[in-house]
Amino acid sequence: MGREPEPQELAKLMHAYLGFLPEEVADSPGYRVLPGVVDLLPRLIEAGVLVGITSGAVEAATHIKLARAGLNQYFSFGGFGSDSKDRGELTRKAIGRASIVLGSPLDPARVCVVGDTPMDIDAAHAAGAIGIGVATGKYKLDELKQAGADHVLSNLTEPFPGFVAPGPA
């Protein structure tokens, strides 16, 4: 357009995007659920871990994407691209929302942020949290270590440091 959109234009665009997204996600051949996720999430919940999500997508889009795999039920709070463009800030927002769910302040130093990019590790540290890198995307274990990850995993079937042992193979 050669200019920034007006708020009304942006609202219409977002509405149209969210209207098309469920069908696009449902038909996407590239959609995948990482190995271990379907087993890990219920084990975390059973262990009493409060599970949230941070995503660069707007909140509604995040829930549309999670719905295809039936994963919405595991995430009781989150931080989203609709909260901030800054990943550290949206991670801090998620931790703040977790505190609301718990009914008391949550110490960020006890929060684990799991991600597969150096940006995820940076966001964890910007929020004062523990960054767990998982080499399930384009970044390898050594790249996540170099990015400063506090812990690294090859995949989500490995045990989380200090948390839940892996389930049956």
Task: Specify the DSSP element, H or E, that contains 152.
Answer: strand 151-153
pLDDT at 169: 41
Q: Taking Cα atoms as reference points, which of 154, 106, 158 lies closest to residue 130?
A: 106
Regarding predicted confidence, which is higher, 162 or 161? 161
Dihedral angle, C-alpha 36, 45, 22, 116, nearest 10 °: -50
β-strand partners of 53? 78
Strand pairing category for 112-115 and 78-80:
unpaired
pTM: 0.88
Q: What is the pLDDT of residues 20-62, one digit of tens each?
A: 999 999 999 999 999 999 999 999 999 899 999 999 999 999 9
165 has a pLDDT exceeding 60: no
pLDDT confidence band for 1 (50 / 70 / 90): confident
Could you tell me the domains of the chain? 36-153 (3.40.50.1000)
CA distances from 95 to 7, 74, 114, 115, 144 (A): 29, 16, 13, 15, 22
* 161 confidence band (pLDDT: 50, 70, 90): confident
Q: And the tokens for 6?
A: 């007006």
Alpha-carbon span 160 to 81, nearest angstrom? 26
